[in-house]
C-alpha cells in the first residue's frame, strides 16, 4: 500500500467550517512560502525562484500581521462540525501560527548568527540542492542570487540591533560561523556551491547560465560574504559571551526566550528543570544498565554476508561501564579507514533498511533516498550527518548527507544507527510518506514540529534493532550511544540555557556519562549553544512514540499489529505530540469497539 491511501476520504467536507479551514490552510501555506522562498524552491515550488528571503524588521512585522489574521480566523472555526482529520489539521495549524507569531515577537532572528541555522549557513547548504527544472526557473534564479548582498546585509543589521539590547552570541558559535565562512571564501571559484544548481536537462542555455552565475559569484556573492564575515568578526565577535556564560540564561529575557523554544520544539509544557531531571534519570540510570547487559551478552557471530564487521572479540571489561565507554571511544578498529568506507557503509545500511520495510509498514513512499557527502567547505563545522527531503516536483530525491571529512577520526560505531535515523526508517521514510499523503493541506504534508520529526527518527533507531538491521554488537552499541547523546542533551541543553552551566561543564557531562568520542563533544555542545531547545525534541518525541506504542499494545493485546500502529502515527503527517496522542487513542478505541 502506498502512502496515497493513508487518509480516508472525509465525509462532511463542504461544510462552512471545512471550507474556511481549507482556505486558511491554503493561505497559510502561501504566506509561508512567500516568507521563505529558498525553502519553496527546495520543496520544488517554483513561483518564488526569483526571490530571496527578506530579513528586515518590516518584512517580519508584515509576516506576523498575516499570521495573526489567520490565527483569528483559525480560532473562530467551529471544531464540532469538522471531520476528525480536519480537527487534526486545525490543531497543527494553530501550533504553527502561535509559534510563528511568538518567534516574531521575540525577534529570534537577532540571535541567528550561528553555524547551524544562520542565513549564511542556509545559503551555503541550500544552494547546491536547489533544482530549476525549466529555463524560466533558472533565469529567475539569476535574479534571486543577485539579491544575496541585500539579504546578508539585513542579517547584519538585525544582529547589530540585538547587540544594542544585550543579545550577544556565544563566543564558540560566532567563531564557528567565521571559520566556515573563511573556508567557503578560500574554496575554488569553479566549485562554488551557487554554480551547482540543478539546471534543465539538455538545456541549450546552460553554459551561458553558468557564465552569468560565475560572474555574479565573483562580483556580488563572494564580496557580500566577505562583508558579512568581516561584520561578524569585527562588529559581533568582540561582544560575544565567553564559555562560562555561554547559555541563553545570561541574556536579557533569556528565560523567556528559552521557555518559548522549549514549547516550540517539544510541543509540550515540560519545564527546563523537569527535562533536566528526566535526562539525568535516563542517562545515568536506564542506559547504563543497557550498556552492561549488551556487553555481557554471549557473542553471536554473523555470516560473512552480513553488513559491517565480522569481528567477534571485544576488548573491554563487560562488568565495567567505563571500560565499555573507553573501548567505544578509542579502539582503533572502530575508526573508519577512508571517506569511501563511510559512504559505502551508509549506502549498505540504507539499502538493507529499505528491503526490510514491508514487514513493518503498510505505508511506503515512492521517493528513493540517496547518500551524498557533505560539501568540503561545510564539513568541518557540520554534524556527522543530516537529511534533505525530496522535492515535491520529483526533481530531487531525498538525500542523506554524510560527513566524510577526517574519516580516520570518525567512529563507525554509530554509522548504522545514524543512517537509520536520517534515512530509513527515520527521516526519509516519515517525510517522504508525509509528502505523498492525499487529503491533507500542503502545509501539513511538508512541515512538522521538531518533536515529532526527530522523535520519530530516534524511535526508528530502536525500531531498527527489532527489524534486525544492526550488523553486529558494535552497531548495537552505536544505537545505545546515539540514545545516550539524545538523553544527555536533555541535561546539557537545559544546563547551559536554564541553569547557567559553563561550556566546560557541558563537555564534562558528556565525557563522564556517554561514550561520545571526545573529539566530537565540543562540536555537539556548540550545536546546542547555536540552536537552543532543538536538541530537547529528540528524546521527548521518542519517549512519546514509545509510550503510545506501549499503551496500544496493552490495550489491544493480541489484536495489536505493528504495521497498523506505524501507519496510524505516520498517516496524518507530522503533528504535535498532543495530537499524536489523540490519533493513537482514537485508533485504539476503533479497534476495541
DSSP string, 497-513: HHS---HHHHHHHHHHH
Q: Are residues 146 and 293 in the same domain?
A: no
Domain termination site, one of 504, 523, 544? 544
The model's confidence at residue 11, banded by pLDDT at 50, 70 and 90, is: very low
Q: In the predicted model, what is the mean pLDDT of the chain?
A: 92
Q: Are residues 214 and 350 in the same domain?
A: no
Residue 14's alpha-carbon distances to 22, 23, 28, 94, in angstroms, are 10, 12, 20, 21
Q: What cell numbers appear for 552 in the block?
A: 496500544
What is the pLDDT, as a whole number, of residue 313? Answer: 65
The model's confidence at residue 265, banded by pLDDT at 50, 70 and 90, is: very high
Euclidean distance between CA atoms 96 and 92, whole angstroms: 6
Lowest mean pLDDT among 11-15, 254-258, 514-518, 587-591: 11-15
Q: Counting beta carbons within 10 angstroms of the beta carbon of residue 75, is it exposed (0 to 12), middle (13 to 18) or buried (19 or more)?
A: exposed
454 falls within a domain: yes
Euclidean distance between CA atoms 170 and 590, whole angstroms: 51
CB contact at 8 A, 383 and 182? no
Look at residue 310 and tell me whether its pLDDT is greater than 60: no
211 DSSP 8-state letter = H
Q: Are residues 42 and 155 in the same domain?
A: yes
What is the pLDDT, as a whole number, of residue 381? Answer: 63
CB contact at 8 A, 557 and 470? no
Share of the chain above pLDDT 90, in %: 83
The model's confidence at residue 447, banded by pLDDT at 50, 70 and 90, is: confident
Number of domains, the chain: 2
Look at residue 388 and tell me whether its pLDDT is greater than 70: yes
Lowest mean pLDDT among 9-23, 157-171, 376-390, 536-550: 9-23
What is the pLDDT, as a whole number, of residue 375? Answer: 77
587 falls within a domain: no
Any idea how long the chain is?
593
2 DSSP 8-state letter = B
Q: Are residues 217 and 270 in the same domain?
A: no
Q: Are residues 232 and 275 in the same domain?
A: no
Lowest mean pLDDT among 157-166, 325-334, 386-395, 572-581: 386-395
Look at residue 346 and tell me whether its pLDDT is greater than 50: yes
My answer on whether omega of the bond before 425 falls inside 30° of 0, hence cis, is: yes
309 falls within a domain: no
Identify the domain containing residue 210 by its residue range: 3-247
Q: Are residues 287 and 217 in the same domain?
A: no
Give the count of alpha carbons within 13 A of 108, CB side only.
Answer: 22
Torsion of CA 149, 150, 156, 157, to 10 degrees: 150
200 falls within a domain: yes
Instruction: Point out which residues pair with 411 in neighbouring strands.
Output: 335
Domain termination site, one of 528, 544, 560? 544
Look at residue 342 and tell me whether its pLDDT is greater than 60: yes
120 DSSP 8-state letter = H
79 falls within a domain: yes
Euclidean distance between CA atoms 108 and 55, whole angstroms: 11
Lowest mean pLDDT among 9-18, 420-429, 573-582: 9-18
The model's confidence at residue 28, banded by pLDDT at 50, 70 and 90, is: very high
Q: Are residues 234 and 85 in the same domain?
A: yes
Q: Are residues 135 and 223 in the same domain?
A: yes
Look at residue 272 and tell me whether its pLDDT is greater than 90: yes
Lowest mean pLDDT among 270-279, 366-375, 416-425: 366-375
Q: Are residues 13 and 62 in the same domain?
A: yes
Euclidean distance between CA atoms 16 and 346, whole angstroms: 50
Q: Are residues 216 and 282 in the same domain?
A: no
The model's confidence at residue 386, banded by pLDDT at 50, 70 and 90, is: confident
Q: Are residues 19 and 43 in the same domain?
A: yes
360 falls within a domain: yes
Look at residue 3 and tell me whether its pLDDT is greater than 60: no
Look at residue 1 and tell me whether its pLDDT is greater than 60: no
Unique residue bearing C-alpha cell 575508526: 335
465 falls within a domain: yes
586 falls within a domain: no
Q: Are residues 386 and 452 in the same domain?
A: yes
Amino acid at each position: 500500500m502506498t502512502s496515497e491511501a493513508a487518509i480516508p476520504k472525509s465525509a462532511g467536507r463542504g461544510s462552512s467550517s471545512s471550507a474556511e479551514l481549507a482556505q486558511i490552510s491554503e493561505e497559510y501555506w502561501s504566506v509561508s512560502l512567500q516568507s521563505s522562498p529558498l525553502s519553496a524552491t527546495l520543496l520544488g515550488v517554483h513561483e518564488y525562484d526569483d526571490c530571496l528571503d527578506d530579513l528586515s524588521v518590516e518584512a517580519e512585522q508584515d509576516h506576523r500581521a498575516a499570521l495573526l489574521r489567520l490565527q483569528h480566523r483559525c480560532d473562530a472555526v467551529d471544531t464540532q462540525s469538522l471531520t476528525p482529520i480536519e480537527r487534526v489539521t486545525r490543531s497543527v495549524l494553530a501550533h504553527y501560527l502561535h509559534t510563528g507569531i511568538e518567534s516574531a515577537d521575540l525577534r529570534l532572528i537577532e540571535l541567528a548568527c550561528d553555524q547551524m541555522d544562520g542565513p549564511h549557513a542556509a545559503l551555503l547548504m541550500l544552494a547546491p540542492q536547489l533544482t530549476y527544472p525549466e529555463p524560466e526557473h533558472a533565469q529567475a534564479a539569476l535574479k534571486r542570487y543577485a539579491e544575496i548582498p541585500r539579504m546578508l546585509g539585513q542579517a547584519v543589521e538585525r544582529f547589530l540591533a540585538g547587540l544594542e539590547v544585550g543579545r550577544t552570541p556565544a563566543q564558540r558559535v560566532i567563531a564557528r560561523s567565521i571559520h566556515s565562512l573563511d573556508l567557503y571564501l578560500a574554496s575554488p571559484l569553479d566549485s562554488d556551491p551557487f554554480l551547482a544548481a540543478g539546471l534543465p536537462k539538455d538545456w541549450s542555455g546552460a553554459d551561458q547560465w553558468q557564465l552569468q552565475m560565475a560572474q555574479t559569484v565573483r562580483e556580488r556573492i563572494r564580496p557580500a560574504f566577505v562583508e558579512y564575515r568581516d561584520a561578524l568578526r569585527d562588529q559581533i565577535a568582540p561582544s560575544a559571551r565567553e564559555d562560562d556564560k555561554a547559555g541563553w540564561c545570561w541574556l536579557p529575557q533569556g528565560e523567556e526566550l528559552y521557555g518559548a523554544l522549549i514549547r516550540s520544539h517539544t510541543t509540550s509544557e515540560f519545564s527546563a528543570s523537569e527535562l533536566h531531571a528526566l535526562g539525568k534519570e535516563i542517562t545515568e540510570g536506564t542506559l547504563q544498565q543497557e550498556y552492561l547487559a549488551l556487553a555481557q551478552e554471549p557473542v553471536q557471530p554473523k555470516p560473512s554476508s552480513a553488513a559491517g564487521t565480522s569481528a567477534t572479540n571485544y576488548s573491554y571489561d563487560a562488568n565495567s561501564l567505563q571500560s565499555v565507554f573507553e573501548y567505544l571511544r578509542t579502539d582503533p578498529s572502530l575508526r573508519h579507514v577512508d571517506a569511501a568506507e563511510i559512504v559505502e557503509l551508509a549506502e549498505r545500511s540504507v539499502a538493507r533498511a529499505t528491503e526490510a520495510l514491508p514487514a513493518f509498514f503498510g505505508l511506503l513512499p515512492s521517493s528513493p533516498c540517496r547518500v551524498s557527502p557533505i560539501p568540503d567547505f561545510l564539513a568541518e563545522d557540520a554534524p556527522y550527518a543530516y537529511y534533505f527531503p525530496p522535492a515535491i516536483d520529483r526533481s530531487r530525491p531525498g538525500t542523506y548527507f554524510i560527513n566524510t571529512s577526517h574519516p580516520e577520526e570518525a567512529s563507525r560505531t554509530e554509522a548504522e544507527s545514524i543512517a537509520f535515523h536520517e534515512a530509513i526508517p527515520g527521516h526519509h521514510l516519515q517525510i517522504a510518506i508525509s509528502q505523498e499523503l492525499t487529503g491533507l493541506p500542503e502545509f501539513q504534508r511538508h512541515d512538522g514540529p521538531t518533536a515529532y520529526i526527530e522523535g520519530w527518527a530516534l524511535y526508528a533507531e530502536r525500531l531498527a534493532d527489532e527489524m534486525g538491521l544492526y550488523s553486529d554488537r558494535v552497531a548495537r552499541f552505536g544505537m545505545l550511544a546515539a540514545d545516550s547523546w539524545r538523553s544527555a542533551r536533555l541535561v546539557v541543553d537545559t544546563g547551559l540555557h536554564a541553569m547557567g552551566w559553563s561550556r566546560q561543564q557541558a563537555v564534562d557531562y558528556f565525557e563522564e556519562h556517554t561514550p561520545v568520542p571526545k573529539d566530537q563533544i565540543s562540536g555537539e555542545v556548540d550545536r546546542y549553544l547555536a540552536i537552543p531547545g532543538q536538541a530537547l525534541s529528540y528524546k521527548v518525541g521518542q519517549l512519546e512514540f514509545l509510550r503510545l506504542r506501549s499503551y496500544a499494545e496493552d490495550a489491544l493485546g493480541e489484536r495489536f499489529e505493528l504495521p497498523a500502529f506505524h501507519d496510524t502515527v505516520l498517516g496524518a503527517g507530522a503533528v504535535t505530540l498532543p495530537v499524536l496522542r489523540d490519533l493513537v487513542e482514537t485508533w485504539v478505541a476503533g479497534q476495541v469497539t
